[in-house]
Structure 1
Amino acid sequence: MRYRRRLRSRIVISFALFGLGLTALFAVATIYLRARLEDQLINNTLQRELKNFVDFKRDNPDPNAPWTMSVYDAQIVRAGRTATVPLAWQKFDSGVYDTEEIGREGKNRPYRLAVYKDADYWAYLRFDLSTQKLNERQLLTALCVAVLLFAIFSLVIGFWLSARVMSPVIDLARRVRAMSRSGKPELLKKHFADDEVGELASVLDDYSTRLTEIVQRDREFNADVSHELRTPLSVIASTTELLQGSPDLTDKLRERLKRIERAVRQSTELIDALLLLSRRERQAPTDGESTDVARVVEQVVDAQRPHLANKPVDVRIEIEQPLATAAPSSVVAVALSNLIGNAFKYTPSGEVIVTVGHGRVTVEDSGPGINAEDAEKLFERGVRGTTVGKGGGLGLAIVRRLCDLYGWTVSLAPRPQGGATATLEFGAQVYPS
């Protein structure tokens, strides 16, 4: 929407500026040509009239011989006799000059004075420029009005033309928006002409078709994974449960069955979380109530203990405050399993402290720690820290995606006394337990 308005505005502004510049150029050219032609006409007229006046006086030496001109005031004297010549005129040599004198109404009036001097006569011809100046002002006013009218006209035409030009684009955007809202793909090319917009609609049709196929394959894959993986996991879980009920099991075998049971539960929770991520849908707990985070922490710690093996690591769970969140326990378990599991795996000795309360879960370990510059990069897919061994680097990326889905916040930081600290904040999704 913003791009469409910006494109239309550029069309309108360009058209308006074009019209304004064109009319302004026309006005400047008109003023220049008028002034040049008028000056040339006046100068030629003055010089011609003055020459004719001198010739008339040569042919008619009688000073009473009539000589009249409408806009001219002529005077001729014998060379060097300037008694009757105005003092302001006497300083000029032959040529044409612009002057100002007080007119009959007592105001300064512009004049153009032509002077002709030879050995016999000095002649003066004055031309009144008042009418010319008035005409120039009128012409300038008319041109300013014309420029303004042309600019307004260009602006109106620009809006009209931009609406016509942009109407197919607007229609295309409207159809794409409606298709996006309904979720039902529709071919767009048939609604548009064979032009640039039609070509864009055709490209969008191809992209929509490929995207629909990808989404359909993704949905089918998710459904297949959900069904094909849950079924054997259910079989393993039920078989393990039956085997644990056998009275002749040894303690070592019973412990192994418990590990299998924990692995099945973790796999089921991971499948649920990955399916939610693939569908980008936020799911509430199945029982309609909030999930007790402390209880999930205890389950995750118990499930991740095999990572400790026989390492001298002291594990403590500190419940500072009840904490619950409106998310399935499987999602919370997957997020915490990665954080707690990493702490167990990368701590050769020392302690791991899991603290619950105040809207967050904090996991502190005394392992090799992390570099501060690696803290944020570790949540990127395939990235691992410089202080750990080989691996895919996918666990923390999954945690970050789950946090983005549910509006949580996860962070890693070096621990001041050595090791690392992972924090999972539940934000607004926290409820009283």
Structure 2
Amino acid sequence: MALDTTSLIRMNFRSSIKSRIIIGFLAFSTILTTLFAISSLSIRQSLQTDLIAQTIQEDLDSYMLRVSSNPNVIREEPISTNVVGIITTPDNFHLDLPLHYSELSEGTHILTEDSKKFIVAVNKSHKIEEQPVWGYIKYDISHMGQNNQSLLIAFGAMFLVFLLLAYLLAIYVSKKALKPLSKLASMLEHLTADTHLEPLAPHFHEDEVGKIATALDAYAQKLTDYVIRDKEFNADVSHELRTPLTVIRSTVELIKSNPNITPKELDRINRIERATKQSSELTETLLLLAREERKEHKGHERTQPGLIIRNIVAGFEPTLKLKPVKTKITENEWLQVKAPESVVSVVLSNLIGNAIKYTTEGTVHIILNKDHIIVEDEGVGVTESELPKLFDRHYRAGKSNSKGSGLGLAIVKRLCDLYNWKIEIKRNKTTGLSAKLTF
């Protein structure tokens, strides 16, 4: 778990614009400083070697010129005050220098002897008394390696300083560059459902952020228009449905007041009355869902699910008479819910209705406990892979055999989310399902 969190933090850091700017500055500074250090060392080494070679070659050439004019110079003057110089002849060479020096051509050479490095200048172009005279100058350049180490340390210190400066500069530049974007994000974060949406584009210049603000303004206007149309439609539908439902309800009451009505007719009228009541509750509940409003009773009023369940089961009596299915209500504890009766009725009607619908034979058991209701059926059930999909809109288990729009459980889930209830459906010990509604 800790490893996953660390990986997520790293991914978030790398994906942020600010971190990309900082990383870009640091990478650029690192490459630039490294190339500068390498080129400086190379140029210094080359210039130093060439300068020393040129100096000792000029000393040797000047000395050999004087020797060829006056042989006594060999005894009177040293070749150079800074280097070791040797004048020899081919016959006496083995007495003065190692033999491999005789193979060196005229000019300067770099040799390594006994872990030391030398620049050797060679001059073989002069004669004394018609005899060739060879001149050699050796200059120890081993100390140059130590100087290079000191220079590397200096460059390392400079590299760290440049890296720190680049980091500070990157932070400053990123803040300046991202300031308009941060301002836009701040304005969006402070928007709420009650906030009057003002255009964002006038607060920014006509640059990249300004284009984003303009696009957001256009998108927000489309959403606002859509929400307004949706609310107006829901309000109109709710209002128009209430009128015919009121007419039906008043007509049912008028018919029930007739003393000559038969028991069979009264039963049918009661069914119409229950359906009318259920339609009114459904209309009110769907309007709440559309507005995403949570309506609750004031004061200490409560809804009793037990009474609602009995009315729901009574409404399904005609369906239950057509197949060998029974209902059983077990009220272990008296349950009250702080929610509108219409909302509780819609949720329980869908759960009980599905249980009765998909049970071809057996018992639908409804259990009331202190804080939850369980609806168990002995129906055809669903597979384990279908369980997570039951609350999806328009999803129907066993599509080829079932009828309906697949909206019932989706509405139940939305109402549960609105009132912070918990709904859970799982397979039970029989072939059916068990739905648990926790308040």
Give the TM-score normalised by the residue count of structure 1: 0.85
SS in 2 for 1:112: strand
Q: Indicate if the aligned counterparts of 2:112 and 2:118 stay in contact, CA closer than 8 A.
A: yes
d(CA) in 1 for partners of 2:324 and 2:293? 41
Q: Match for residue 407 of structure 2?
A: 394
SS in 2 for 1:372: coil
162-171 or 58-67: bigger deviation: 58-67
d(CA) in 1 for partners of 2:15 and 2:184? 14
Match 2:34 to one of 24, 31, 48: 24
Q: Match for residue 167 of structure 1?
A: 179
d(CA) in 2 for partners of 1:68 and 1:339? 113
What is the CA-CA distance between 1:97 and the residue it aligns to? 1.0
What amino acid sits opposite 1:40 in the alignment? D
SS in 1 for 2:404: coil
Q: Any residues of structure 2 matched to 1:404-423 within 5 Å, and which?
A: 404-418=417-431, 420-423=432-435
Q: Match for residue 97 of structure 1?
A: 111
What amino acid sits opposite 2:348 in the alignment? L
CA RMSD of aligned residues (A): 2.9
Please tell me whether residue 283 in structure 1 is matched to residue 267 in structure 2.
no
Distance 1:356 1:30, change over 3 A: same
Q: Match for residue 385 of structure 1?
A: 397
Q: Match for residue 82 of structure 2?
A: 71
1:243-266: CA deviation from partner (whole Å, max 9, x where unpaired): 223211111111111111111121
What is the CA-CA distance between 1:327 and the residue it aligns to? 2.5
1:45-82: CA deviation from partner (whole Å, max 9, x where unpaired): 44454454444444433331213534312122333546
Q: Match for residue 104 of structure 1?
A: none
Q: Indicate if the aligned counterparts of 1:111 and 1:126 stay in contact, CA closer than 8 A.
A: no
What amino acid sits opposite 2:45 in the alignment? A
Please tell me whether residue 11 in structure 1 is matched to residue 21 in structure 2.
yes
Match 2:120 to one of 114, 118, 126: 114
What is the CA-CA distance between 1:409 and the residue it aligns to? 3.0
Distance 1:73 1:415, change over 3 A: same
Give the TM-score normalised by the residue count of structure 2: 0.84
What is the CA-CA distance between 1:204 and the residue it aligns to? 0.7
d(CA) in 2 for partners of 1:145 and 1:39? 25
1:336-376: CA deviation from partner (whole Å, max 9, x where unpaired): 11111112223233221112226332222223332332222
What amino acid sits opposite 1:75 in the alignment? I
Match 2:235 to one of 204, 214, 223: 223
d(CA) in 2 for partners of 1:115 and 1:80? 20
- Unaligned 5+ segments in structure 1 are 102-109
Q: Match for residue 127 of structure 2?
A: none
Q: Indicate if the aligned counterparts of 1:79 and 1:117 stay in contact, CA closer than 8 A.
A: no
- Unaligned 5+ segments in structure 2 are 1-11, 125-130
What amino acid sits opposite 2:278 in the alignment? Q
What is the CA-CA distance between 1:206 and the residue it aligns to? 0.6
| Count of residues in correspondence between the two structures | 415
SS in 2 for 1:323: coil
Distance 1:367 1:144, change over 3 A: closer
What amino acid sits opposite 2:118 in the alignment? R
Distance 1:121 1:304, change over 3 A: farther
Identity %: 36
Please tell me whether residue 338 in structure 1 is matched to residue 350 in structure 2.
yes
Q: Indicate if the aligned counterparts of 1:15 and 1:158 stay in contact, CA closer than 8 A.
A: yes
Q: Indicate if the aligned counterparts of 1:362 and 1:421 stay in contact, CA closer than 8 A.
A: no
What is the CA-CA distance between 1:391 and the residue it aligns to? 2.2
Q: Which runs of structure 1 show a deviation greater than 6 angstroms over 4 or more consecutive aligned residues?
A: 2-5
SS in 1 for 2:191: helix
Q: Indicate if the aligned counterparts of 2:428 and 2:434 stay in contact, CA closer than 8 A.
A: no
Please tell me whether residue 206 in structure 1 is matched to residue 212 in structure 2.
no
Distance 1:283 1:365, change over 3 A: same
Q: Match for residue 261 of structure 2?
A: 249
SS in 2 for 1:389: coil
Q: Match for residue 196 of structure 2?
A: 184
Q: Match for residue 61 of structure 1?
A: 71
What is the CA-CA distance between 1:294 and the residue it aligns to? 2.7
d(CA) in 1 for partners of 2:170 and 2:31? 14
1:150-178: CA deviation from partner (whole Å, max 9, x where unpaired): 22222222222212211111121222223
d(CA) in 2 for partners of 1:234 and 1:40? 109
d(CA) in 1 for partners of 2:242 and 2:173? 61
